[in-house]
Structure 1
């Protein structure tokens, strides 16, 4: 994959982060990086006062640093800022961080040497993965603490994973045959002053959320048939009168999925209208899909943005100190994703309740099991779904409304975007498990109906579930089943097969 700083997509991030696609810089990017570095060298020779180049950082921005001390300034910056705490970020998240930082730096507005970018490229391609603690970023002035742990390994310090083993950064670089870099003027600051940690976490979570949004329609449709739902609620005429794009998309998905079904009913055959968790599927799922489209747009802007400070404009003989490192656009998007994905889980858990509750499930056995009493069936599966939904409600409290001043009040408003991204990623994972529980309950309900009566799309969904997990005929440990189905759903290629059968959007 060629990186030019302007054309990276969420799909590209997944290819590199999750599937270890190799990367390289374009020749145009290399040329721009060299021009930018030549300009920085000229500024140093002329002893210009430039933030982070010949000054200290944060509150020390008014402290002049001589040329003799500029290298020490960069090394001290990385060591002093490596203040992360908590468990390490996952390998795929760190690979995404490395990719996004490399892509941003390849624009040639950061004033660093090409040699530094080539070192990062080699680390990514040879899978030298810095150990980056997940906590410690305020999400403004960039993700300073976590990115400093990344930069330590570039210098031959810190810790890294290589070939599945955790070891010292220098050892990992040596085993991979990569020479550590001695940072020079501006380079330490360029490595850590950016939003790449929150954006990496958010990009992977958003990709998984977009995939789950399609599964939610599929699973909701299967539940709809299990509960003998009323087809009329999906009628296009209704949704044309309220033309939100994804409300219409979801309604069409449900029509496609249930095409040919002998379980779904018409208005008045069994009842006039369904409960909201069934009837309002297009409106609720559609609203979350609208939110995800907005979030994906903001992430794709951010992954192709320069978030450094100061920014070098070599061709215009300018250096501008600004605030592109501030994570507010991503912080708000991550809080939005937390809410949108919590709603998928919320409405799914309500459908689970309808499936297992004998007062609501259209004469299905209580808790979807024969010999109720001796067998508990899916009773506690609903508990697990409810627990995850309640956890999501706590996690969905917005991080972006919080701020705390730092650096002696020089940096007096921060985004908390990285906290927001980590919370959103956890909510996405929780939502996968809630919907996995719903799929298992819906499939179990269909076993008590007749799988041959399903629609074209829902039949595929049912059969895919049963390929991985058998019907529950007597009580067993369900936790493993939940994980199996959630992992199956997380493979974004699985739904491609269904899309070849129906027009799933």
Structure 2
């Protein structure tokens, strides 16, 4: 990011995921650059001019969807926009976290900056006021089919503009009119096209995608760290991450994983132990870590490219081009690119989680000198036996959730909108997989630490020894049976609070 202060001016630049992450984390005071303001003003004036000329313009002086041939009186054009927002606010389910609503609003501002939606600076400034005063519209999770935009979620985001709905204020959900009264704000009157400009577009799906990618980026790197601890505890060979082996591959992501392992394993004696498999043929969940983790990285990198392009593109319809004196109608409201990407990510993350569970199983299986279920007096004690059941249950749920939503479509609006992306379903399926991933990785870490304690001849690498020592400050060695769910939760919290530090301090790629 060029701007490191507490202020950020939205420009016409291309925003990377890193840029967006910094903005969503630091929450600077937002404004629009002079160039962007000029584009927005010209775009809005163009819409007003054209609407006064009597031209038939969808969403300005017509009904919506299959009602596009119904002409609206000039005197009713503002009422049309008001009715559009309130009638489309049909979301159901839990209210999404404030962070996700904030992301949605920011990505909507990135669409507005082009000046192609017809929005006015009055609406843009009110969204900026929302952001800068921590008044964040609430959005129900479900209701979007991912084409014609995220109509329901974005309508809920638009309700506070006209004084309706609810908002996050100081971390609590309050009615919009209450928040407005405290701030001395009045509801806006939406002008021609503005209601449609608010609800049209896939900013809600894209916000979910960004939110997922920011966490999955941590997963794909920290998974190497956890797996390196499991590999040492299991006394694996070192040939599977030997750089020479990976000179035969044209997949750079595999090489990155192997290089991470070289770095993480340096100083360990895991491959010299008597318990090491002398044939070098470790189970696939260890031996194929570069191939599996590398493939997930490929999916992640692909997804980052697609989602970055989506959040920087205009998503609305119709689009206005004042310089060319053109109003063009098309499909820039369809979420297929993001929906397919989210489904691909769901499959990839499910695989990363599944191979983690497989390593957990191997550590429990009584091989390589480790006791059954990683407890000394097994039989009387069950040890970590049932923790693996939890991983198995979560992996099973992930497999169900990895079934693509985008392969389905349910026609809407009298077949005017006969193919939709279902990207919002893809989004919250992936969120479930992310939540499960945190537990499954934590359970692997729990088992790796327990196995390390039993592998008396093992010398950990200095990097992983540091992690192990810190982990043991939070979760004790299991000598006899106790309530393991407490340990799992401690391991999950430890992982979430430390993984970014590992990535940065150890320069994990």
What's the TM-score once normalised by structure 1's chain length?
0.95
Equivalent residues in 2 for 1:242-253 (5 A)? 242-253=249-260
Question: 2:71 matched to 1:67?
Answer: no
Whether the 8 Å CA contact 1:156–1:169 is kept in 2: the answer is yes
Paired positions, count: 501
Aligned to 2:324, which of 316, 320, 323?
316
Whether 2:63 is the aligned partner of 1:56: answer yes
3-state SS, counterpart of residue 167 of structure 2? strand
1:393-444 alpha-carbon deviations (Å, 9 max, x no partner): 0000000100011110000000001110111121122112101100111011
Per-residue CA distance 1:480-499 (angstroms, 9 max, x = gap): 332333334334x7434554
Deviation at 1:65, TM superposition (A): 1.3
TM-superposed deviation, 1:19:
4.5
Tell me the equivalent position of 2:338.
330
Counterpart Cα distance in 2 of 1:476 and 1:58:
59
Deviation at 1:89, TM superposition (A): 0.9
Residue in structure 1 matched with residue 365 of structure 2 by the alignment? 357
1:486 matched to which residue of 2? 492
TM-score, normalisation: structure 2: 0.94
* C-alpha distance in 1 between matches for 2:318 and 2:141: 26
- Say whether the 8 Å CA contact 2:235–2:276 is kept in structure 1: no
SS of 2:271 mapped into structure 1 = coil
Number of the residue aligned with 1:293: 301
Alignment partner of 1:302 out of 299, 303, 310: 310
Q: Is the 8 A contact 1:89 1:132 kept in 2?
A: yes
* Alignment pair present for 1:280 and 2:288: yes
Is residue 415 of structure 1 aligned with residue 421 of structure 2? yes
Query: Per-residue displacement from partner, 1:36-80 (whole Å, max 9, x unpaired)?
Result: 111111112212111111111100111111221110000000111
- Which SS does the other structure have where 1:368 is aligned? coil
Cα distance change on mapping 1:24 and 1:60 into 2, 3 Å: same
Q: CA deviation at 1:160?
A: 1.7
The correspondence of residues 57-456 of structure 1 with structure 2, limited to 5 A, is 57-265=64-272, 270-272=277-279, 273-358=281-366, 361-450=367-456, 453-456=459-462
Identify the match of residue 473 of structure 1 among 469, 473, 479.
479
Q: Is the 8 A contact 2:222 2:502 kept in 1?
A: no
After TM superposition, give the deviation of residue 171 of structure 1 in Å: 1.4
Q: Structure 1 regions of 5+ residues with no counterpart?
A: none
User: Contact 2:357–2:444 (CA<8 Å) still a contact in 1?
Assistant: yes
Per mean C-alpha deviation after superposition, the further-off stretch among 440-449 and 141-150 is 440-449
Distance 2:28 2:159 in 1: 24
Confirm or deny: 8 A CA contact 1:231 1:266 kept in the other structure: no
By how many angstroms is 1:476 displaced? Answer: 2.6
Contact kept, 8 Å, 1:335 with 1:400, in 2: the verdict is: yes
SS at match of 1:236: coil
The answer to whether the Cα contact below 8 Å between 1:4 and 1:106 also exists between their aligned partners in 2 is: yes
Report how far residue 218 of structure 1 moved: 0.5
Cα separation, partners in 2 of 1:255 and 1:411, compared to 1, 3 Å: same
Deviation at 1:371, TM superposition (A): 2.2
Q: CA deviation at 1:8?
A: 2.1
Q: Which moved more, 1:341-350 or 1:469-478?
A: 469-478
Q: How does 1:17-32 map to 2 (within 5 A)?
A: 17-32=24-39
